[in-house]
Chains A and B, each alone.
Chain A
Amino acid sequence: MSGTDILSVDRLSMRFGGIVAVNDLSFTAQRGKITALIGPNGAGKTTVFNCITGFYKPSAGSMRLAHADGAVLKLERLNDFRISKLAKVARTFQNIRLFPGMTALENLLVAQHNMLMRASGFTLLGLLGFPSWRTAERYAIDRARSWLDRIGLLDRADDAAGNLPYGDQRRLEIARAMCTEPALLCLDEPAAGLNARESAALNELLLAIRADYGTSILLIEHDMSVVMEISDHIVVLDYGMKIADGAPQAIRDDPKVIAAYLGTGDGEEITAEGVS
């Protein structure tokens, strides 16, 4: 299982008018591993994410997603919802995007839309209450229940997602992404705004996801305690270009990385966690 690439990004560039947000970026993410994408603010990490998840169409370059069954998809050819539906790439957002007026349970059911749509015979069988639909609905609710249990929100299943505390919303968004049964899970700053205890819980959750589901994870993160602890591989971006790529230990000691962080005044994060 290990050793094969699930995602290979090749010479990806993204330009907005005259601004080059991502410049000739190549990296790979391995199957069943946690790959972190780090870099100072404005380095183009989220732009890379938006390209991979189909929200932007890259100006140049290719992105290949290899499924376990050998199928290879060209992500740059797929657009918005097809990335999630066909390529099985799920994502979360830097600023949480739950459905605030729907309950936690409903949020997880919306994530299973495509499976439920097929089971409901594209609404027709469901409208007439066919047994196959009822079975599928029960299955979906059970899956949602098990995820709620896993993230410790079972007792808040019927509360509006917008009413949950911030940390719970973060975890619910990850659970929602996992309910789409992704091959690759892309997390945009999952630890942003979490306290130390919540960060530790997040680490556990991500490691458990990798262990139990074999889901590969691509992660943008500023919180070095998360990045260094759980990543198998780290890619460092600065000004849209890759400046380093390797195992956490190697990245920690890489002078170019330290320079990039110190240069923008963000250095204390990496030195505090990295050197001590």
Chain B
Amino acid sequence: MGPDVAAPAPNQQPAMRGPGIAFILKKSFISAFVALILFSLMIGIRTLPSESGQLTYITRFPQLAAMVAIVFGGSIIVELLRQWWGPVDTLRIVPPQVQTGLGIARRLLAPMLLIFTFLVPVIFYDQRYILDLAILVLTYVMLGWGLNVVVGLAGLLDLGYVAFYAVGAYSYALLATTFGLGFWECLPLAGLLAACWGVMLGFPVLRLRGDYLAIVTLAFGEIIRLVIINWQSLTGGPNGISGIPRPTFFGIPLTPGENGLAAKLGIDFSPTHRIVFLFYVILALALLTNWVTIRLRRLPIGRAWEALREDEVACRALGINTTTTKLTAFATGAMFGGFAGAFFATRQGFISPESFTFQESALVLAIVVLGGMGSQLGVALSALAMIGGFELFRGFDQYRMLVFGIAMVLLMIWRPRGLIGHRAPSVFLEQSRAISSDLVKEGHG
């Protein structure tokens, strides 16, 4: 990928003969056969309600035949194109000039993105939908950054991250509705409680690795959700908790009337103020997460996390207490999850166990993996792509999931280690050189 790699000589084309016609036909037949099996039910048969209300079906063999023929012809064309084009690599698709341009763009990407994010409420002030979406994206950016500490840095695969999100949300909701505490007092408490849960989860799973760790964390996420559903007297069960107080501007409520912020500032009240305020709250929380993570990576604890991901046995031989190192990773990640949960509760004003299903854990994990484990910018970009992009596909109606899935598959083929797969060293003597993703381990739990 580097610019120092020599471009392939253009005259080597005749030297390599592609596979023969038999190979192409065989491949196309296989593709057509798979298509036949797949489409025979999807396209070949269609069910219809008859006049009497019974379900009948009609066969559509011509369409099925056409579809299979398209697949057959298509795979021949693809195979021929592949032979004509030769092996695909980055250099052939992206010329070096464009690559250096991309390099500059890459360096400017993070600052530009940050500036743009700050200006979102100004640009889209009267577009409520975009503001709501931006808040949602930022919530997931924060969750992704929080989980990144556990999965990306420490290499501990956590499938139950939503548990900490739920603990944070319910902590705030219960503290606020029961004791009348405000958002800003509850925020650290919610983070602290979530961190405690992180440690509680951490203890039993310390000895587990890889798949086993993933299963236990998954179960932990489900346990929290089931406890919330069944502990009716405390959590309200499936009905959830409603009437959660909205955040105040350091004590001044964002409401119409005498005491509201708008009246105090002498401007007209608008419900958008609260949205904009929420936007900046989550932006601040997300940036705090980012700042702390970046600082931690440069501290011994952060290096120990990464060393743990690379080789746990070597860590122990160097006198690193792997127990506390793992627990702090869990606690730190959980704390950020708790902050995000408290924010979620105050934004929604209503929470119920439905918001904390495994689906959420999977989504956040997908964001981290897609972004490139350990990369802050990658996680932010993939949260934008996953949450924002998913909304973008709304026009495709029922094909939204399909298009989204194809996009994910393509991305993983193109970038198997995530959008930003390389690792930036935490410290350098002369020059910081990115470390190729081939060398960086994924951790064994």
Q: A161: nearest residue on chain B (CB-CB)?
A: B439
Which among B306, B429, B431 has the greatest number of chain A C-beta atoms within 10 A? B429
- Using Cβ atoms and an 8 Å threshold, which residues of chain A touch B400? none
The answer to whether A116 has its CB under 8 Å from any CB of chain B is yes
* Contacts known (A100-B439, A109-B303, A113-B303); A127 close to B319, Cβ less than 8 A: no
Interface residues of B in 164-180 (CB under 8 A from A): none
Q: B428: nearest residue on chain A (CB-CB)?
A: A158
The answer to whether A176 has its CB under 8 Å from any CB of chain B is yes
The answer to whether A101 has its CB under 8 Å from any CB of chain B is yes
* Contact indicator A160/B439 (Cβ below 8 Å): yes
Report how far A93 CA is from B309 CA in the complex, Å: 18
Residues of B within 8 A of A (CB-CB), count? 39
* Contact indicator A180/B425 (Cβ below 8 Å): no
* Contact indicator B427/A109 (Cβ below 8 Å): yes
Interface residues of A in 151-202 (CB under 8 A from B): 154, 157-160, 162-163, 176-177, 180
Q: Which stretch, A79-87, A223-231, A244-252, touches the partner chain B?
A: A79-87
- Using Cβ atoms and an 8 Å threshold, which residues of chain A touch B314? 93, 97-99
Which among B296, B304, B426, B427 has the greatest number of chain A C-beta atoms within 10 A? B427
- Contact string against B for A residues 44-77, beta-carbon threshold 8 Å, 1 for contact and 0 otherwise: 0000000001110000000000000000000000
The answer to whether A210 has its CB under 8 Å from any CB of chain B is no
* Contact indicator A162/B317 (Cβ below 8 Å): no
Q: A91: nearest residue on chain B (CB-CB)?
A: B317
The answer to whether A110 has its CB under 8 Å from any CB of chain B is yes
Q: How far is the CB of A210 from chain B (nearest CB, A)?
A: 21
* Contacts known (A114-B319, A116-B300); A105 close to B427, Cβ less than 8 A: yes
- Using Cβ atoms and an 8 Å threshold, which residues of chain A touch B63? none
Interface residues of B in 183-229 (CB under 8 A from A): none
A158 is contacted by which of B306, B430, B436 (Cβ under 8 Å)?
Answer: B430
Q: How far is the CB of A75 from chain B (nearest CB, A)?
A: 14
* Contact indicator B435/A160 (Cβ below 8 Å): yes
Report how far A148 CA is from B427 CA in the complex, Å: 15
The answer to whether B301 has its CB under 8 Å from any CB of chain A is yes
Which among B307, B426, B428, B430 has the greatest number of chain A C-beta atoms within 10 A? B307
Q: How far is the CB of A155 from chain B (nearest CB, A)?
A: 8
B313 is contacted by which of A97, A102, A154 (Cβ under 8 Å)?
Answer: A97
Report how far A220 CA is from B425 CA in the complex, Å: 33
- Using Cβ atoms and an 8 Å threshold, which residues of chain B touch A101? 306, 309-310, 423, 435, 439-441
> Which A residues fall within an 8 A CB radius of B?
53-55, 80-85, 90-91, 93, 97-103, 105-106, 109-114, 116-117, 120, 123, 126-127, 141, 145, 148, 154, 157-160, 162-163, 176-177, 180
What are 19 inter-chain pairs, A to B, with CB distance below 8 A? Answer: A81-B319, A81-B320, A81-B322, A82-B319, A83-B319, A84-B319, A93-B317, A99-B306, A99-B310, A102-B306, A103-B427, A105-B429, A110-B300, A110-B318, A111-B318, A113-B319, A116-B300, A148-B429, A176-B318
> Which B residues fall within an 8 A CB radius of A?
292, 295-296, 299-301, 303-304, 306-307, 309-311, 313-322, 328, 423, 425-433, 435-436, 439-441
